[in-house]
């Protein structure tokens, strides 16, 4: 289990991730937190994935793969976050 869980959602929440991320081929560059249903999406540097390229994983799996995503625990509904590389801080913006 991830230490110091701050997300309002449970650790086993199903989230959407690019298969490239789910299978450790690429890193997380873009995160969406949907206003309509509270869903989370995680995308690689190349951009938003097509539906056929999406995998469903647990939120805790995403955090275990990339602990920096835990910084987004308070990302409001209807907002997104991105970064230009793995080492830069997350930027946030209302969608």
15-41 tens-digit pLDDT = 999 999 999 999 999 999 999 999 999
**Is 91 part of any domain?**
no
Distance, CA of 14 to CA of 28 (rounded, Å): 17
Q: Where are the alpha helices (DSSP H) in the chain?
A: 19-22, 59-65
Q: How confident is the model at residue 4 (pLDDT cuts 50, 70, 90)?
A: confident
Domain interval for residue 53: 14-86
**Is 6 part of any domain?**
no
Number of domains in the chain: 1
The 3-state DSSP class for residue 67 equals: helix
Q: How confident is the model at residue 66 (pLDDT cuts 50, 70, 90)?
A: very high
Taking 80 as the threshold, does the pLDDT of residue 1 lie above it? no
| Percent residues over pLDDT 70 in the chain | 98
**Is 3 part of any domain?**
no
For 32, half-sphere exposure in the C-beta direction (CA atoms, 13 angstrom radius) is 16
* Mean predicted lDDT score pLDDT of the chain: 94
Say which residue the tokens 């959407």 belong to. 16
């Amino acid at each position: 289990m991830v230490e110091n869980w701050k997300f309002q959602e449970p650790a086993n929440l199903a989230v959407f991730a690019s298969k490239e991320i789910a299978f450790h081929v690429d890193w997380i560059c873009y995160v969406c937190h949907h206003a309509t249903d509270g869903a989370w999406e995680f995308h690689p540097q190349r951009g938003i994935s097509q539906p056929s390229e999406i995998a469903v994983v647990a939120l805790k799996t995403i955090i275990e793969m990339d602990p920096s995503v835990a910084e987004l625990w308070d990302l409001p509904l209807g907002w997104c976050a991105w970064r230009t590389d793995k080492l830069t801080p997350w930027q946030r913006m209302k969608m």
